[in-house]
Structure 1
């Protein structure tokens, strides 16, 4: 099962300060992937990807970008784990969200 690109989605208090901090560490903003005005950004350093999100959710989220989120959702269900937010529709962009046994939020987010 291919989980896709992994990133951490961080719930930040001040996107301007957080952006400056991660740029200081060498992260570069992905053009066209959010903005300070939109209150979300995607940054990358080498193969490490992080998202900064101000006011969108309370907790940090482990995020995977698979090519087929629906098959991953089916696999999770088949193995007896509950889905907190189910995929919508039969094809195209979608996401599902669940929690691991310790309450950490995991999102599988298919862009296409």
Structure 2
């Protein structure tokens, strides 16, 4: 059985989960990845602001979750 690892990134938070002053919004990151032809399992609603997330899969098949809480 092939094991997978989920990777999670949280724009707007540092490695200690504390808010940071400046960061790139998850929707902007999503648009950049879409521009490179990356396929998504789930997409952030680009008509919103604040918390949102998207999921892509890395070349090894691991889900990568970009989850913005602010």
* Common fold by TM > 0.5: yes
Partners in 1 of 2:62 and 2:6 — Cα distance?
7
Per the alignment, residue 33 of structure 2 pairs with 76
Deviation of 1:60 (Å):
3.1
Per the alignment, residue 66 of structure 2 pairs with 108
Matched position secondary structure for 1:84: strand
Matched position secondary structure for 2:48: coil
The structure 2 residue matched to 1:98, chosen from 56, 62, 66, is: 56
Partners in 2 of 1:61 and 1:69 — Cα distance?
18
Unaligned runs of 5+ in 1: 1-58
Q: What is the TM-score of this pair, normalised by structure 2?
A: 0.69
The structure, 1 or 2, with the larger RCO (C-alpha pairs under 8 Å, 6+ apart) is 2
RMSD over aligned Cα, in angstroms?
1.3
Query: In the TM superposition, what are the counterparts of 1:1-112 in structure 2 within 5 Å?
Result: 59-67=4-12, 68-88=25-45, 89-112=47-70
Deviation of 1:76 (Å):
0.6
Partners in 2 of 1:63 and 1:72 — Cα distance?
14
Deviating above 2 A after TM superposition, structure 1's stretches of 4 or more consecutive aligned residues are none
